């Protein structure tokens, strides 16, 4: 059995045990290969989702080119999620770029395109590291929406965000070469305090 992170923070072994015992609080289906498919009503909808007449686009992003495999897996998960929601033919847009800046051409094109009614992202930070709520509010005012598949925030993401913010500030103050060294020194000082 392949273990995947549980959105309600259950240990994978607990989920596996509940599936085998038939005590899982949501419907479970076992495939002929032995894999358990857990049907969570919070994420599944048998009725097609109304997208307000607009297109539904799945947006997947990673920070660097060495995460290419993760980008494809993320895109596949988003497409499966959209199809499970009842979307007939979801578009998938993938992009490699930092979540800290606004220089992402593909995302900017999607946000500016009024025919995109629904934008699906895996985590809120895939849309933007900071101020994703502002983007969401602006789209909502236009009658468009963002669906976040997994809205839980992980602690390591917060640490990474803080490191990126410190790196950005240090880069401006001390120049690009010294930015990494200064960031590491600031993190060590913060840990020791």
Enumerate the active-site residues: 63
Going by the DSSP 8-state scheme, the letter that residue 57 receives in this structure is E
The tokens for 157 are 């993401």
Whole-number CA gyration radius for the chain: 20
Contact 181, 166 (CB under 8 A): no
| Measured distance CA(169)–CA(187) in Å, rounded | 13
| Measured distance CA(59)–CA(79) in Å, rounded | 9
| Measured distance CA(140)–CA(130) in Å, rounded | 18
Write down the residue that tokens 């998938």 correspond to.
92
Burial (CB count within 10 angstroms: exposed 0-12, middle 13-18, buried 19+), residue 161: middle
């Amino acid at each position: 059995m392949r273990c995947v992170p549980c959105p309600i923070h259950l240990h994978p072994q607990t989920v596996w045990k509940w599936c085998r015992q038939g005590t899982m609080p949501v419907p479970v289906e076992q495939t002929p290969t032995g894999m358990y498919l857990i049907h969570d009503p919070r994420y599944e909808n048998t009725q097609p989702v109304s997208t307000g007449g607009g297109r539904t686009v799945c947006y997947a992003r990673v920070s660097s080119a060495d995460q290419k495999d993760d980008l494809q897996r993320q895109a596949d998960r988003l497409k499966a999620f959209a199809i499970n929601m009842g979307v007939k033919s979801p578009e998938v847009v993938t992009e490699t770029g930092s979540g800290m800046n606004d220089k992402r051409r593909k995302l900017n094109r999607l946000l500016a395109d009024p025919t995109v009614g629904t934008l699906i992202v895996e985590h809120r930070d895939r849309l933007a590291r900071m101020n994703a709520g502002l983007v969401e509010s602006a789209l909502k005012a236009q009658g468009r929406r963002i669906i976040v598949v997994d809205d839980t925030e992980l602690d390591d993401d917060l640490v990474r965000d803080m490191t990126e913010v410190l790196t950005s500030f240090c880069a401006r103050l001390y120049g690009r070469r010294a930015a990494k060294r200064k960031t590491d020194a600031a993190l060590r000082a913060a840990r020791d305090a």
